[in-house]
Amino acid sequence: MYKNNSIQWLFTFLGGVVLLFLIAPLAGLVFHSSGTEIADTIADKEVTYSIMLTLATSMIATTIFAFFAIPFSYLLARKLFFGKKIVLGIIDLPIVIPHSAAGIALLTVISKQGIIGKAGGLFGLEFPSSSAGIVLAMAFVSLPFLINAARNGFEEVPERLEKAALNLGASPAKVFFSISLPLAWRSIVSGLIMMFARGMSEFGAVVIIAYHPMITPVMIFERFGAFGLKYARPVALIFIAVCLVFFVLLRYLSNPKKDAIRS
């Protein structure tokens, strides 16, 4: 690739340092956790329930809000309007603010006295200390990843194809579902995976809204605070392994050819 391989060796070394920085803490978890501890933790019904709850609530948050976020992303990609930069800034806000602050802000509107809380009360829904509240907290902090990825995907779709279909008599809805959406689907799937993964790992906003039922990030924190590193470490290891399996599998299923090793 390079005539002078020195630059390639330098980049390889720098990449190795980054990988070592990422792998070292995970390797530490593995080497300091005994097989007995891991087996006992896997057999712990509270742990397995917590992991299933975490996966389920993150998947529900991603699925529900995708129906709103994907059309909105298309609008952002195709339309110019007054205040668009402000809207884009608001979308990115949950990424940059402390997530504990995000949880408090969200709790303001989903509590019994809040707008969303009052509306949910009409249907018998209570968000604080419930799975529904966890779903909202996960969605709040992870939505920007889906919106931005989908918007970038739609921006890469040539507008001339859409205009040609419109000139041939296709409706805007048919153009969206038959041209825009299929051509942007890789970016959309990538955004869905990132939203799911980000929601699954959320702690700060969730712990403000719903300490119970306890998702796994909250359980890790709770066990560390109550019993110390020894009891928190196996839960963290198992959850990281589950996250890794899901993330790699979803990435591969979304784009197996691109992720294949080049010969």
Residue-wise pLDDT for 234-249, tens only, equals 999 999 888 888 878 7
98-134 burial string, b = 16+ CB within 10 Å, else e? ebeebbeebbeebbeebeebeebeeeeeebbebebbb
Q: Which two tokens stand for residue 105?
A: 């802000």
**Where residue 118 falls among pLDDT bands split at 50, 70, 90?**
confident
Domains of the chain, by residue range, sit at 46-253
Q: Residue 187 above 60 pLDDT? A: yes
- pTM value is 0.85
Alpha helices in the chain (DSSP H): 5-31, 35-43, 45-78, 84-96, 99-110, 115-121, 131-155, 159-167, 172-175, 181-183, 185-200, 204-209, 216-227, 229-254
pLDDT at 207: 93
| Mean of pLDDT values over 189-201 | 91
Q: Are 113 and 35 in contact (CB under 8 A)?
A: no
| Mean of pLDDT values over 131-137 | 94
Q: Residue 107 above 60 pLDDT? A: yes
Q: What mean pLDDT is reported for the chain? A: 88
Structure confidence by residue, pLDDT tens digits, 251-261: 776 665 555 44
**Where residue 184 falls among pLDDT bands split at 50, 70, 90?**
very high
pLDDT at 3: 55
**Backbone torsions φ then ψ of 238, nearest 5 degrees:** -65, -40
pLDDT at 86: 93
Which of the pair, 257 or 163, is modelled with greater confidence?
163
pLDDT at 121: 80
- Please name the CATH architecture into which domain 46-253 falls: Orthogonal Bundle (1.10)
